[in-house]
Copies of this chain bind each other. A is one copy, B any other.
């Protein structure tokens, strides 16, 4: 009898390598759109990084993940009402996806010369 994973695989009309890249894209889209807008300051930046990392790890095929929020972009509170919301430009995220022998590393980070946060495939290896 087929396991659920075997059933799921049937839906994919692509190679295993392409599936791994697809999963990597899902994870970066998830981080960006789940967490952008979250209140952030120097006091909670570390716990937010950790929560994003652990949220990503819960998802399928995630082998490893590192999240860095740029400390320099966290300004001092200017008044009682003031706080910052997490933006894409503050984030540097690297996620490793493994499906059997395929390993994909994808990344999102602000790229100066492009002037926006780029999501890209940094490496694909098979072992």
Q: Which residues of A contact B (CB under 8 A)?
A: 3-5, 7-8, 11-14, 17-19, 21-30, 32-34, 36-41, 43-44, 47-48, 50-51, 54-61, 78-83, 85, 87-88, 106, 111, 113-116, 118-124
CB distance from A124 to the nearest CB of B (A): 6
A63 vs B81: C-alpha distance in the bound complex, in angstroms? 14
Give every chain B residue within 8 A of A113 (Cβ-Cβ). Answer: 4, 7
Question: Secondary structure at chain A's binding surface: helix, strand, loop or mixed?
Answer: mixed
CB distance from A107 to the nearest CB of B (A): 8
Whether the Cβ atoms of A81 and B114 lie closer than 8 Å is: yes
Copies held by the complex: 4
Give every chain B residue within 8 A of A33 (Cβ-Cβ). Answer: 29-30, 32-34, 37
Whether the Cβ atoms of A111 and B11 lie closer than 8 Å is: yes
Give every chain B residue within 8 A of A12 (Cβ-Cβ). Answer: 120-121
A24 vs B87: C-alpha distance in the bound complex, in angstroms? 22
Which B residue's beta carbon lies closest to that of A51?
B51
Give every chain B residue within 8 A of A23 (Cβ-Cβ). Answer: 25
Whether the Cβ atoms of B4 and A114 lie closer than 8 Å is: yes
